[in-house]
C-alpha cells in the first residue's frame, strides 16, 4: 500500500459504520481527528458504538432501504452547503440462503436497493459538495465475488446482469438480469458488479464535467468476525449451523479470511492516500496463501469493464430512482 497520506483533517460522509469493517474504520478516523457524517438506520446503535454526536460526529437517521429517507438526508446536507472531502459507501447487505426476495420501501429488491441504488443517489445528490473540496474522493466497497473467476465468484451462480431485463419491469423484479427465480447469493454478487459499473460511468461523467476526483473501488477479501455482527449477520439468522461451519473452515482451518481490523485499516488508507489520482481504481486484497493477502490494483471482470453496460445501468438506475421518488410524492 502506498505510504503517501493526508495530514489534514477531512470531512467524510460514510455509510455502513455500525458493524464490521465500517465500524473499525470509523473509529480509526475519529481517533485521527477527522469529521464524520454518518448515514445510519439506527442512530442509537451508532451512538453506542461510536459515542455521542459531537462537532466531529454527525449522525443522520437514514434507512438506505428507503429512497425517500436517503433523498431527505441528502437535501439536508445540501442546505448546509459544507464541503465533503470524501464519500465512503461501505454499506452492504446480503441475506444468502433466504429463498424469498425482500423489498425496499419503494418495492425494489432489497440487495439492489441498498447496495447499489441508494449509493448512486447519494453520490448524484452530493457531488456538488465534493466539488467544494480541493481533495475530494469517493470510495466504494465492492467485492471480488463480482468476478466469476475469483474464489468466491466461482461458488454458486456467477454474477451477471445480462441485458438488465429485470429493470424493464421497473419495480417488483427479483433479479437484475430478469430471472424470476430469486437467488440471494447471486443478487449480492450482482449488486457488487453494479457498484463497479456505477463507478466506471461516474468517472466518465466526472471527466465530461472536467471534475478530477478519484473513484476508488475495493475488495477487502473474506471477512468473518467472531462476533455476531458484521457482514454475515443476516445469513447467520437464516442458516446458523451452516454459517458456523463455513466460518470454522474458512477462517480457522484454511485461514482464508481477513480480520476486521486489517480490513478497516485498508479502508482508512484508501480514504487518506494521496497516490491514487483522478479516475477509476479497483484494488483487491488478494489471497496469496493461508493467512497471506496482497492489496494491489487489479483488473475487474470483463463484464465490470463493459462501458455500454455501465451507461445503461447508470441511466436505468437514475430513472428508477426518479420514478420511485415521484410516486412517493418526494420533491426531486
* pLDDT tens-digit readout, 256-315: 677 899 999 999 999 988 899 999 999 999 878 887 788 999 999 999 999 999 999 999
Q: What is the value of pTM for the model shown?
A: 0.91
pLDDT-based confidence at 21, cuts 50/70/90?
very high
State what percent of residues in the chain have pLDDT above 90: 72
% of the chain surpassing 70 pLDDT: 89
Mean pLDDT of 20-37: 96
- Give the C-alpha separation, 29 to 237, whole Å: 31
What local confidence, expressed as pLDDT, does residue 115 receive?
Answer: 98
Q: Where are the domains positioned within the chain?
A: 11-325
pLDDT value for 58: 96
pLDDT digits (tens, 9 = 90+) for 225-251: 766 665 555 565 666 776 677 566 667
Tell me the average pLDDT of the chain: 90
Arch. (CATH architecture) of 11-325 = 3-Layer(aba) Sandwich (3.40)
Position with higher pLDDT, 255 vs 67: 67
Amino acid at each position: 500500500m502506498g505510504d503517501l497520506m493526508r495530514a489534514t483533517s477531512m470531512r467524510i460522509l460514510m455509510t455502513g459504520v455500525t458493524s464490521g469493517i465500517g465500524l473499525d474504520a470509523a473509529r480509526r478516523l475519529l481517533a485521527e481527528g477527522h469529521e464524520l457524517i454518518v448515514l445510519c438506520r439506527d442512530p442509537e446503535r451508532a451512538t453506542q458504538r461510536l459515542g455521542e454526536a459531537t462537532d466531529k460526529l454527525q449522525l443522520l437517521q437514514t434507512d438506505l432501504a428507503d429512497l425517500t429517507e436517503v433523498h431527505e438526508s441528502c437535501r439536508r446536507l445540501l442546505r448546509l452547503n459544507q464541503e465533503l472531502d470524501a464519500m465512503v459507501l461501505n454499506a452492504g447487505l446480503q441475506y444468502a440462503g433466504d429463498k424469498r426476495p425482500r423489498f425496499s420501501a419503494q418495492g425494489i429488491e432489497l440487495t439492489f436497493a441498498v447496495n447499489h441504488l441508494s449509493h448512486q443517489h447519494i453520490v448524484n445528490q452530493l457531488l456538488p459538495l465534493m466539488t467544494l473540496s480541493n481533495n475530494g474522493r469517493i470510495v466504494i466497497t465492492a467485492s471480488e465475488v463480482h468476478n466469476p473467476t475469483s474464489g468466491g465468484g466461482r461458488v454458486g451462480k456467477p454474477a451477471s446482469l445480462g441485458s438488465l431485463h429485470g429493470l424493464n419491469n421497473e419495480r417488483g423484479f427479483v433479479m437484475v438480469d430478469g430471472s424470476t427465480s430469486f437467488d440471494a447469493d447471486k443478487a449480492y454478487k450482482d449488486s457488487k458488479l453494479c457498484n463497479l459499473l456505477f463507478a466506471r460511468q461516474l468517472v466518465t461523467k466526472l471527466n465530461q464535467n472536467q471534475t478530477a476526483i478519484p473513484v476508488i473501488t475495493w475488495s477487502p477479501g473474506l471477512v468473518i468476525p467472531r462476533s455476531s455482527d458484521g457482514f454475515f449477520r443476516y445469513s447467520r439468522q437464516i442458516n446458523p449451523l451452516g454459517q458456523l461451519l463455513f466460518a470454522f473452515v474458512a477462517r480457522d482451518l484454511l485461514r482464508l479470511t481477513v480480520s476486521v481490523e486489517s480490513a478497516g485499516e485498508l479502508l482508512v488508507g484508501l480514504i487518506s492516500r494521496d497516490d491514487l489520482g483522478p479516475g477509476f481504481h479497483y484494488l483487491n486484497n488478494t489471497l496469496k496463501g493461508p493467512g497471506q493477502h496482497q492489496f494491489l490494483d487489479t483488473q475487474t471482470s470483463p463484464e465490470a469493464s463493459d462501458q455500454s453496460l455501465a451507461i445503461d445501468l447508470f441511466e436505468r438506475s437514475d430513472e428508477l430512482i426518479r420514478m420511485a421518488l415521484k410516486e412517493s410524492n418526494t420533491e426531486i
